[in-house]
């Protein structure tokens, strides 16, 4: 059997163009080659693989089952190779490398700043650039290549085409307005929060975090109602109403004026994880994930999963 590593990449590229065009004439035009040259490259590939890739007649060109498998498997691989070659050229021209991190807002409070600081000490020539995403927009950004790795809070399963890894967990705090009855507390119990309605980011944009908070609320004696609101409206409502917004403890690092972060005395934690596209994983991805995991460890207290909603509880 032929070893794929011994195949000429030019043969694979010629095959892909013909596979997409289903015409040797059009493929030759795209490749700036003669039709005879393209046909010869495809025949050479078929000979190397010892399999027929196309069914050719005077009227049409069709992929065989083996040809369809090769097209579907080799297309993303060659796209990844092209991106890698472009990246190498960019590094050669500038002496620097850029990894794009898509992240949900909570990851930017403490996890990413600590991770980036550690990364820059270890790899000063390889730079990180963050792009804020919602949980829902993060996966399409990874699949399309707009970001190289995603980091977020309560992201859930990786989903088709992606892989993921837990990074660590963090305790909760309660964000309230300065006039809130809990605002002067040094610490509150989780049960104290059940007396008030809660604010959460919209479920359509952050379903993982919404589900986590819903599970937590459902575990309490009085089930708080979850109100969905975006950032600016949340701040206005917290200042004006006796509402509670449960957030990771590191949220206190960037607290807006007029709000207070009260630590929650509870073993319940929320989890951060990383997602990436294995077909376009950037170099040194493993090192970056280890650094982020080390940073997450500094956020960890006592880890534990959020409780599941009780059977029969209504969704609010």
- The closest alpha carbon to 53, from 88, 83, 89, 27, belongs to 27
Sheet strands (E) in 71-137 = 97-103, 126-132
pLDDT at 213: 92
Q: Is the pLDDT of residue 166 over 50?
A: yes
Is residue 87 scored above 60 in pLDDT? no
Q: Which conformational region is residue 311 in: left (phi greater than 0), alpha (psi within -120 to 50 degrees), or beta?
A: beta
Instruction: Please report, rounded to a whole number, the percentage of residues in the chain having pLDDT higher than 90.
Output: 53
Residues 6+ apart with CB under 8 A from 301: 170, 171, 269
pLDDT for the residue 256 = 85
Question: Is pLDDT above 70 for 11?
Answer: yes
> Confidence band (pLDDT; 50, 70, 90) for 221?
confident
Token duo for residue 128:
């990180």
* Residues 114-138 pLDDT 10s: 898 888 888 777 788 889 999 999 9
Give yes or no for a contact between 228 and 210, defined as CB atoms under 8 angstroms apart: yes
pLDDT of residue 304: 44
Residue among 271, 262, 266 nearest 297 (CA): 271
Distances (CA, A) of 242 to 180, 216, 232, 285: 5, 19, 17, 44
Check whether 42 has a pLDDT greater than 50.
yes
Local confidence band at 309 (pLDDT 50, 70, 90 cut-offs): very low
Which residue's structure tokens are 């509670």? Answer: 244
pLDDT above 70 for 286: yes
Between 281 and 41, where is the model more confident? 41
Q: What is the pLDDT of residue 295?
A: 86
The tens digit of pLDDT for each residue in 12-30 reads 989 999 998 999 999 988 8
> CA 215 to CA 308: how far, in whole Å?
5
Give CA 186 to chain center in angstroms: 35
Chain segment 238-247, per-residue pLDDT in tens:
999 999 999 9
| pLDDT higher than threshold 60 for residue 184 | yes
**How high is the pLDDT of residue 3?**
45
When comparing pLDDT for 274 and 221, which is higher? 274
- The answer for residues whose C-beta is within 8 angstroms of residue 211's C-beta and 6 or more apart is 154, 156, 203
CB-based contact 161:143 (threshold 8 Å): yes
**Is residue 124 within 8 Å of residue 93, measured between CB atoms?**
no
Mean pLDDT is highest, among 93-97, 263-267, 312-316, for 263-267
């Amino acid at each position: 059997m032929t070893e794929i590593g011994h195949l000429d990449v030019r043969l694979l590229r010629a095959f892909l163009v013909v596979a997409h065009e289903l015409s040797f004439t059009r493929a030759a035009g795209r490749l700036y080659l003669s039709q005879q040259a393209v046909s010869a490259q495809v025949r050479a590939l078929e000979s190397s693989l010892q399999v027929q890739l196309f069914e050719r007649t005077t009227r049409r060109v069709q992929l065989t089952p083996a040809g369809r498998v090769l097209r579907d498997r080799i297309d993303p691989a060659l796209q990844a190779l092209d991106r890698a070659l472009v990246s190498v050229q960019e590094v050669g021209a500038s002496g620097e490398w850029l990894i794009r991190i898509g992240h949900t807002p909570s990851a930017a409070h403490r996890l990413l700043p600590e991770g980036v600081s550690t990364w820059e000490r270890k790899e000063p020539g390889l730079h990180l650039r963050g792009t804020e995403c919602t949980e829902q927009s993060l996966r399409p950004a990874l699949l399309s290549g707009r970001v190289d790795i995603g980091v977020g809070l309560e992201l859930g399963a990786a989903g088709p085409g992606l892989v993921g890894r837990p990074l660590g967990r963090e305790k909760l705090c309660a964000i309230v307005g300065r006039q809130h009855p809990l605002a002067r507390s040094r610490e509150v119990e989780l049960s104290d929060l059940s007396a008030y309605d809660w604010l959460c980011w919209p479920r359509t944009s952050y379903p993982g975090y919404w589900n986590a908070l819903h599970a937590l609320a459902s575990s309490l004696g009085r089930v708080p109602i979850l109100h969905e609101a975006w950032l600016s409206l949340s701040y206005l409502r917290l200042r004006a109403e006796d509402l509670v917004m449960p957030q990771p403890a590191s949220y206190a690092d960037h607290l807006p004026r007029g709000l207070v972060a009260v630590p929650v005395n509870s073993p319940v934690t929320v989890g951060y994880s990383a997602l990436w596209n294995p077909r376009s994983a950037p170099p040194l991805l493993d090192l970056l994930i280890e650094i982020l995991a080390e940073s997450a460890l500094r956020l960890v207290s006592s880890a534990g999963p959020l409780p599941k909603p009780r059977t029969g509880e209504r969704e609010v």
